[in-house]
Structure 1
Amino acid sequence: MNMIETNKLTKTYGDFKAVAGINLHVRKGSVYGFLGPNGAGKSTTMKMFLGLTKQSKGTFTIDGKSYPQDRQAILREIGSFIEAPAFYGNLSGEENLHIIRKILSLPKSSVDDALELVGLTEHRKRLARKYSLGMKQRLGLAGALIGKPPILILDEPTNGLDPVGIHEIRTLIRNLPKQFDCTVLVSSHLLPEVELMADDVGIINHGRLLFEGSLADLKQDAVQKGYSHEHLEDTFLAMIDEDNQQRGRRR
């Protein structure tokens, strides 16, 4: 069963096509790595799932529910982290999470659980404006995880983290489906990062979905197309480069 499914999902801004008729299939209980260069259309796709921007064409369903008819029901099932999370700088990390908790009508213990999950318990009383970039990323992730939602949509959640922080968050994301019986859609522009936590990947470039499948499928696809396949990052770069060249020829 697919938790998230799109049918020719498209988003245009005037003459610019940010997302071009993509068909995604995010399996329930999986970590799906949504991969592409900066500006490829990853964030725009995620914003459509959250109702932050409306699709121009096409449709999508989340947990069998259709947008926009079931928008409120969809949003109740999703925890999200999109771009740089915004907080009240004059409130502590803990107080910021309590605001989310009250909106979602969750028990007080959910704040403690979320802080523990992302490793911010000892910094809970610090003002958010005094958090480092990495700590703000963690706080944003805590806001997405609070209440343990069945669907998580995470847009480049390791940005700004040091290598140790990246490893910790990557391990956390990898274990989330087993821990909370949830489905995770996580974007990145780094294949090595996705490779260590995802079951399936979707590769997008200039709004077009170039590949979707397991990492094993990606390697097989690379062999068939004559790409380098010793390192999947080389496969990813070759795939993007060929698409860019084809786009240039089409012009």
Structure 2
Amino acid sequence: MDYIITTDQLTKKYKDFTSVNNVSLHIRKGSIYGFLGPNGAGKSTTMKMLLGLTASTKGSFTIDGKHFPGDRLAILKEIGSFIESPSYYANLTGRENLDIIRRILGLPEETVEDALGLVGLTEFGSRLAKKYSLGMKQRLGLAGALLGRPPILILDEPTNGLDPSGIHEIRNLVKSLPSLYHCTILISSHMLSEIELMADDIGILNHGNLLFEGSMAELRQSALQAGFAADNLEDMFLSMIDKDNADRKQRAKL
């Protein structure tokens, strides 16, 4: 199997609290990997470790054959990221906002127009960011992640706060990207129905532990074997989380 991202026992502890606990991920090159879990499960922390935004307590990871932390800068050059709500200079245009990122990254000027085109904002590139709708701001955030067409995208809740129309827009855009330029996407979302429509593989975290990793078909098979409803991703996800929480309570009593 051709994996572009692997983690080995990746762990993050804060004093007496373990946010991410011995997580080993295997993300296939060219796939969309849906990273799921309740609030506080450790998804954002895992993503931030992959981006070097927070240090791991234990474990390691490899991205496109490069090992962290020795190859940190080389790794970061291959990743475009959208973490939480992106920030903008409100009094600059969308194009000017992207140009600032482009200069920081040392990319050619034409990458700005390319990114605007990928997210469908070319005709709005000269509009001030403060006049963008929420959906357009999210697309501008994605354009920032897409500058230079990095081979890997890490997207944390890219549809957060959007109306159904905006969610549909972002989902179709994300779903199209691997075939557009052969990238790999790690995406987290609480919109399980959206992940079901776009993801090739699924990873499910709860209390920092990886409960499941595999394809949608493998998740359905696992759910059926456990006696869970397997009609949709939401049912399977909730059943798995509920069982894990019940098992935790039971162990705590012993």
- Give the TM-score range, shorter chain: over 0.9
- Give CA deviations for 1:109-154 in whole Å, capped at 9, x if unaligned: 2212212222222332232233333222111111001110001111
1:82 maps to what in 2? 83
Contact 1:33-1:185 within 8 A present in 2 as well: yes
- Partner Cα distance (2:191, 2:137) in 1: 21
Structure 2: stretches of 5+ with no match in the other structure? none
- Partner Cα distance (1:102, 1:133) in 2: 25
- Partner Cα distance (2:11, 2:224) in 1: 30
1:250 maps to what in 2? 251
Farther-moved stretch of structure 1 (192-201 vs 164-173): 164-173
1:4 is aligned to 2:11:
no
1:164 is aligned to 2:159:
no
- Partner Cα distance (1:64, 1:193) in 2: 30
- Give CA deviations for 1:209-240 in whole Å, capped at 9, x if unaligned: 11000000000000000001122211111111
Contact 1:21-1:58 within 8 A present in 2 as well: yes
Number of equivalences: 251
- Partner Cα distance (2:238, 2:156) in 1: 20
- Partner Cα distance (1:43, 1:134) in 2: 21
Contact 1:35-1:190 within 8 A present in 2 as well: no
Q: Which runs of 4+ in 1 moved over 3 A?
A: none
1:128 maps to what in 2? 129
1:238 maps to what in 2? 239
Structure 1: stretches of 5+ with no match in the other structure? none
Aligned amino acid, residue 243 of structure 1: D
1:116-195 equivalences in 2 (<5 Å): 116-195=117-196
Q: CA deviation at 1:191?
A: 2.0
1:222 is aligned to 2:218:
no
Farther-moved stretch of structure 1 (54-63 vs 35-44): 35-44
2:38 maps to what in 1? 37
Using the aligned pairs only, state the percent identity: 67
- For 2:198, what is the secondary structure of its paired residue? coil
- Partner Cα distance (1:19, 1:49) in 2: 12
- Give CA deviations for 1:61-105 in whole Å, capped at 9, x if unaligned: 101111110000000100000111122222111101001111222
1:204 is aligned to 2:211:
no
Q: CA deviation at 1:40?
A: 1.1
RMSD: 1.3
- For 2:19, what is the secondary structure of its paired residue? strand
Aligned amino acid, residue 203 of structure 2: G
Contact 1:134-1:159 within 8 A present in 2 as well: no
Aligned amino acid, residue 80 of structure 1: S
1:17 maps to what in 2? 18
- Partner Cα distance (1:9, 1:23) in 2: 6
TM-score, scaled relative to structure 2: 0.95
- Partner Cα distance (1:55, 1:163) in 2: 36
- For 2:210, what is the secondary structure of its paired residue? strand
- Give CA deviations for 1:132-178 in whole Å, capped at 9, x if unaligned: 33222111111001110001111111112222221222122112111
Farther-moved stretch of structure 1 (69-78 vs 33-42): 33-42
Contact 1:12-1:18 within 8 A present in 2 as well: yes
- Partner Cα distance (1:190, 1:36) in 2: 11
- Partner Cα distance (2:55, 2:251) in 1: 29
- Partner Cα distance (1:190, 1:210) in 2: 19
Farther-moved stretch of structure 1 (225-234 vs 73-82): 225-234
- Partner Cα distance (1:48, 1:133) in 2: 28
